[in-house]
Amino acid sequence: MVKTINAQGIRSPNAAILADNVIKNLDDTNEEVRFILSPGAEEGMENVAHKHGYTLEVTKSGNLIEAGMIPSGKTMKEINVTGDVCPGPVITVGNIIANLTVGERIKVIAASQETLDDITMAIQSSGSGVIGQGTEGELHYLIAEKAEKQEAASSAVVSRDRVVIAQSNGIGNAERAYATFLFSQVALSMGKEVTIFLLMDGAGIGKKGNAKGVKHPEFERLDHLMEDVIKAGATVYVCELSAKFRGIGADDLVEGVRLAGAATYLELLSNPANAVVNF
């Protein structure tokens, strides 16, 4: 349970006096309280938090300050993704948020605002929210809060919670091959249902042993990445026609990959609920 109190315009030390009165009159001592303040009004809040056994977490949002009084034992987790290569930060944060309970928060620290912008988009797509952002020295941070994902307000709005990734280039284009599975990891971390369709030269990726020799210094081996995506719940198809052209049979496929025909592919493409990405 979180209580939010808008105290804009109340200056220090009156804001701290208000906070003290609110905290000591709470019915539930496990309740978190957020105070929305004008800049500078947070002075004295640390003493109030310490007095009542709370942890103070101050974040900046535009021209306002949010002072959160967090009960002991409920301090939010801090995630540092500086140095991580895209899409690593999005996947890391998405997986953590997926395991939070509604109302729990995390603080994400990154080297650039661009990284946080990407993470913010993923968080909002998953139904949760970003409640504050700021800087600490040369680093950037955001505060995210887990929320229940809301259904679309109108039945006329198509919610694209399913992603279809079509891969037709194969291991001859390592960048596109990696993108197929890295983008899949991001989509899965955002709570989306993922289907990968390997066709034309892309069909070779699904054959046992073919992806073992593909390794970029910044990422794990391609075959391991594919295994991770399958274990995480992605459906992976190999085009039956493309497989026949290349002498690939069902027994030649990586575990978890299966053959599918043209009708399956066309149905995936024509379904308006599917967002389609081509590599």
Alpha helices by DSSP H, the chain: 14-24, 45-51, 88-98, 113-125, 174-189, 222-231, 240-245, 262-270
Total domains present in the chain = 3
Looking at 98, 113, 145, the residue that finishes a domain is 145
Helix axis angle for 88-98 and 113-125, nearest 10°, is 40
Same domain? 85 vs 67: no
Residue 13, pLDDT > 70, answer yes
Domain containing residue 101: 77-145
Residue 106 DSSP code: E
pLDDT tens sequence across 160-193: 789 999 999 999 999 999 999 999 999 998 889 9
φ and ψ at residue 112, rounded to 5 degrees:
-140, 155
Is 172 part of any domain? yes
CA-angle at 15, arms to 10 and 20, nearest 5°: 150
Flag whether pLDDT at 211 surpasses 90. yes
Q: Which of 23, 36, 102, 15 is nearest to 70 (CA)?
A: 23
Structural domain ending residue among the three candidates 145, 170, 197: 145
How far is residue 36's CA from residue 38's CA, in Å, rounded to a whole number? 7
* 154 belongs to a structural domain: no
pTM: 0.64
Mean pLDDT of the chain: 87
Q: Note whether 115 and 186 are same-domain residues.
A: no
Residue 99 falls inside a structural domain: yes
Q: How many helices (H) and strands (E) does the chain have?
A: 8, 13
**Predicted confidence band of residue 155 (pLDDT cuts 50, 70, 90):** very low
Note whether residue 124 is domain-resident.
Answer: yes
Q: In what order do the strands lie in the sheet with 162-167?
A: 257-260, 235-239, 193-198, 162-167, 274-278
